[in-house]
Structure 1
């Protein structure tokens, strides 16, 4: 199978390649193509990717190109991991919302909306090239944030797509280590939306262990997700790290006002990583890459792609259509839950009812995501403003109005309709 990675010049890519090389028995890749408009990065990332594959004895051909059509032609699967505007745009997403007392973050709030507006049109254009040139049954796996909105855009346009995030697999690996079992022995009741999820059950070989884990390790979990122990105990479940933007919004805003943006730190790491990738002797992913984010991304991506291609019918956490899974949402909403992965795609498992405490926030953010997608596809200041007004972290007229003007000013070079 030809596997194409759009955004292949990302410093993330060696993490993915490492997984492809190690898990070669799961995913039969014969050609790996890295596509990226940044011609200066491609030889560096492509070079280390080639060496990683060779070090593992993987026979696949590795090549790179700036030509999207060449990259996707005949591909059996296309993985999207792009960032429109790069770290510079991310840095702005993380800073200008602070002027209005709102959290600056690349996947939620006003900054997340800006990223969605920049990203969705580009992704849809790429997907049309995949539809025209890739294999007829090719899958698109989206790792591009905001994953929920981008995946819904792809599905609404009729593409064979599944969204992917590494939060769930990270927790699965954490629990496997805690209980001394293989990751495959751990299943989780993980539910919500992308970057808005909770874990309300953990089973190890069929035995429920979440209460035990919280009793023995709540302080450690609290430190990892940066949320207070009393909150976790009150919930009786583990919220994803991203929920701190909702549960502790004002605290986070004050933190962000007094420290460098995450984007600036990542940009510095990327410079260091690219210097490492230039070393012709480097044939493995460097330890610094673990600090870049995306832990276990390679395993999640390879597992999902392998199951889609082979139609294995195993269960993985993915971003999929709701289709009645959460009755308080429309069927076409995109949720992040355990799903059966087969040749026809990902189908969510039935799940227990959701408490009003979580259901209310899920419904609120889903409504925002629908409006954000409409703004990304159709443009218009009014649509952007409505998405701002609908977001639970914004929700006030004056603030939404000001944030809309800031977003349009900051992104005028990326939004063709302005």
Structure 2
């Protein structure tokens, strides 16, 4: 762990291998941001998603609204994948392909094996907290280590978590609960509160502007809000 922290403090999570899958400019910036995130909370290796919660100004500053990360994916990763699939289908063989299993595909296969063959391996799963994190909402869904077998998923007790992480999690859970309640109750107020509570939204004024835009964009799908 000290070696990993030292590396992260100098480079973030940037990959330096020819086969590294993350080549989009925005994603490389996200991986490098781990260096700055480690300064905020040096006791744990940071999740890169925290960039959007804790470094909002820096993130938005470099974004191009006319060419988003979705455009980057479509122009490279999606294009490369579709072209390779077409080549394999046309040639009738995957020999020589650049496709390779990743941690995500291995995770799915190993999880299926644990369920089928009762291997009792440990996986990170999203489950109801129910006391696994002692000082957190028992009904909140949390991503924690679990032992998986044929007939059961057993969450591993985490104990208490530090104030910094707990505060971030409680704010996000509150935002998500308000979003659900707002939709069920057709409540404009609760959906506005939900966005205002979200760490990616800088102010209640911006939250209202976002909500009004979302209402217009989703008017064929959303209920009429009161």
Structure 2 length normalisation: TM-score?
0.76
Is the Cα contact below 8 Å between 2:34 and 2:47 reproduced in 1? no
Q: Is the 8 A contact 1:320 1:335 kept in 2?
A: yes
Alignment of 1:153-192 (within 5 A): none
- Residue 32 of structure 2 corresponds to residue 226 of structure 1: yes
Counterparts in 2 of 1:285 and 1:240: CA distance versus 1, 3 Å: farther
1:323 is matched with which residue?
130
Cα separation, 2, equivalents of 1:309 and 1:408: 44
Q: 1:258 to 1:381 in 2, by over 3 A?
A: closer
Question: For 1:230 and 1:276, how far apart are their aligned partners in 2?
Answer: 36
Match of residue 277 from structure 1: 85
- Name the Cα RMSD after superposition: 2.8
Contact 2:8 2:38 in 1 (8 A): no
After superposition, residues 350-365 of structure 1 pair within 5 angstroms as 350-365=157-172
Corresponding position: 1:332 with 2:139? yes
| CA 1:229–1:259: 2 relative to 1, 3 Å | farther
Superposed CA offset, 1:91-114 (max 9, x none): xxxxxxxxxxxxxxxxxxxxxxxx
Please name the residue that 2:192 is paired with: 385
Do the aligned residues in 1 keep the contact of 2:192 with 2:207 (CA within 8 Å)?
Answer: yes
Figure out how many residues of one structure are paired with residues of the other and give that number. 204
- State the match for 1:403 in structure 2: 210
CA 1:372–1:416 in structure 2 vs 1: closer, same or farther (change >3 Å)? Answer: closer
**Moved runs in structure 1, 4+ residues, more than 6 A?**
none
Q: 1:375 to 1:346 in 2, by over 3 A?
A: farther
Extract unaligned runs of 5+ from structure 2: 16-30
Between 355-364 and 390-399, report the one with greater CA deviation: 390-399
Q: Which residue of 2 aligns with 1:87?
A: none
- For residues 362-381 of structure 1, what are the structure 2 equivalents within 5 Å? 362-375=169-182, 379-381=186-188
For 1:252 and 1:325, the matched residues in 2 are separated by: 33
Q: 1:388 to 1:412 in 2, by over 3 A?
A: same
Residue 251 of structure 1 corresponds to 58
CA distance in 2, matches of 1:273, 1:261: 19
1:243, distance to aligned residue in structure 2 (A): 0.7
User: Cα–Cα, structure 1 residues 353 and 272, in superposed 2: closer, same or farther, change >3 Å?
Assistant: same
Looking at structure 1, the residues matched to 66 and 222 of structure 2 have their Cα atoms a distance apart, in angstroms, of: 33
Q: Is contact 1:388-1:395 (8 Å) kept?
A: no
The offset of 1:231, in angstroms, is: 4.4
CA 1:389–1:215: 2 relative to 1, 3 Å: closer
Q: Which residue of 1 aligns with 2:27?
A: none
TM (norm. structure 1) is: 0.44
1:349 Cα offset (Å): 0.5
Greater share of residues in strand: 1
Partner of 2:62, secondary structure, is helix
- 1:380 Cα deviation after fit: 4.6
1:347 aligns with 2:138: no
How far did 1:222 drift?
4.8
Report the CA distance between 1:316 and its aligned residue: 0.9
CA distance in 2, matches of 1:332, 1:257: 38
